[in-house]
């Protein structure tokens, strides 16, 4: 099967601004091709108070959304030089990888994309969860991390894991995925809406986009508050890419966990609808290799 690539990879910015403006202009008395009534030469354009208010609201909405997009800057990419921090022994106590996998119902035979895999912290857990009949794609944009991932796959004999080099808006895969997981990656996306549109093309009709990121609360350790992303911002950008938020899990002490589905396929997704898996008190040790076929 040829690599799956996004037709929308070149689309950048907040989607929907133009449609919002045109919708309000239609309320004002025009249409898509002629937004406002045409006056003969020399006539004074006439607008009703309601039409004037609608036009004002349209302009304000467009200005507000544009300002928000311009002010939202991506966080710095995590440095490969600090990769050891990603695999610190104490991380399991708050990351709870097995709880996350159980909550998302990642099962044998699934295809899962770990987008922004870093040093591969989540790889062994995902590898075991999908088993020999499944496939994990560990995706990274930074070449140094790509090399680390490949070495880890070889050392730990993770035969069901494929390492993929991505760009800021393109992820070449050989098949569609059941889950695309962004673990502490979303805040680093250079072009979030464009990448989300790419992700939408990578998912099966019943597939899920999962965003797990550090909560923007001062008491929670993690990246600077200025680099953290509010839940509402993630949801708004996801809507701009054609996703619908279906669930938010509170099973991790430091991070929110958001689940999205393709708005066009929402009726086809039933596997984890409104189901919460309770946190586990204990977790098994991560595997050192994928199960043998």
Q: How far is CA 237 from CA 6, 12, 17, 168, 169, in A?
A: 17, 11, 12, 16, 14
Same-domain status, 131 and 223? yes
Report residue 16 as tokens.
């929907």
Three-state DSSP at 4 gives strand
Q: Is 91 a member of any domain?
A: yes
Poorest-pLDDT segment among 61-70, 166-175, 213-222: 61-70
For 248-283, how does the pLDDT look when each residue is reduced to its tens digit (9 = 90+)? 999 999 999 999 999 988 755 555 544 444 444 444
Mean pLDDT across the stretch 143-166?
Answer: 97
Same-domain status, 38 and 96? no
What is the DSSP track for 172-183?
-BSS-EEEEEEE
Q: Is 211 a member of any domain?
A: yes
50 forms beta bridges with: none
Structural domains of the chain, count? 2
Same-domain status, 21 and 124? no
Q: Is 134 a member of any domain?
A: yes
Same-domain status, 145 and 34? no
Q: Is 283 a member of any domain?
A: no
Task: Reply yes or no on whether the pLDDT at 111 is more than 80.
Answer: yes
* Domain of residue 224, residue span: 80-268
Question: Residue by residue, what is the 3-state secondary structure of 87-120?
Answer: CCCCHHHHHCHHHHHHHCCCCCCCEEEEECCCCC
- The DSSP code for 264 is G
Same-domain status, 66 and 117? no
Burial state string for 234-258 with b = 16 or more CB within 10 A and e = fewer than 16: bbbbbbbbbbbbbbebebbebbbbb
What is the distance between the alpha carbons of residues 203 and 209, in angstroms, rounded to a whole number?
8
Mean pLDDT across the stretch 63-67?
Answer: 41
Mean pLDDT across the stretch 157-168?
Answer: 96
């Amino acid at each position: 099967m040829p690599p799956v690539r996004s037709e929308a990879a070149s689309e950048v910015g907040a989607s929907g601004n133009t449609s919002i403006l045109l919708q309000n202009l239609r309320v004002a008395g025009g249409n898509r091709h002629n937004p406002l009534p045409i006056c003969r030469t020399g006539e004074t354009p006439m607008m009703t108070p309601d039409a004037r208010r609608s036009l004002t609201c349209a302009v304000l909405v467009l200005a507000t959304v544009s300002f928000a997009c311009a002010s939202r800057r991506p966080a710095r990419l995590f440095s490969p030089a600090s990769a050891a921090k990603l695999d610190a022994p104490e991380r399991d106590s708050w990351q709870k990888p097995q709880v996350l996998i159980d909550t998302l119902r990642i099962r044998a035979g699934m295809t899962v994309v770990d987008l922004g895999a870093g040093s591969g912290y989540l790889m062994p857990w995902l590898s075991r969860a999908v088993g020999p009949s499944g496939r994990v794609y560990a995706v990274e944009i930074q070449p140094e991390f790509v090399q680390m991932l490949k070495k880890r796959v070889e050392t730990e004999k993770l035969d069901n894991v494929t390492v993929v080099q991505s760009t800021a808006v393109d992820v070449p895969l050989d098949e569609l995925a059941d889950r695309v997981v962004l673990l502490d990656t979303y805040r680093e996306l250079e072009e979030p809406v464009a990448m989300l549109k790419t992700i939408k093309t990578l998912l099966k009709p019943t597939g899920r986009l999962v965003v797990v990121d550090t909560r923007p609360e001062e008491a929670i350790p993690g990246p600077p508050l200025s680099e953290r992303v509010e839940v509402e911002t993630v949801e708004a950008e996801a809507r701009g890419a054609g996703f619908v938020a279906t669930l938010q899990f509170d099973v991790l002490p430091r991070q929110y966990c958001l689940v999205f589905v393709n708005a066009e396929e929402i009726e086809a997704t039933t596997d984890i609808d409104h189901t919460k898996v309770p946190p586990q008190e204990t977790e098994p040790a991560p595997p050192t290799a994928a199960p043998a076929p």
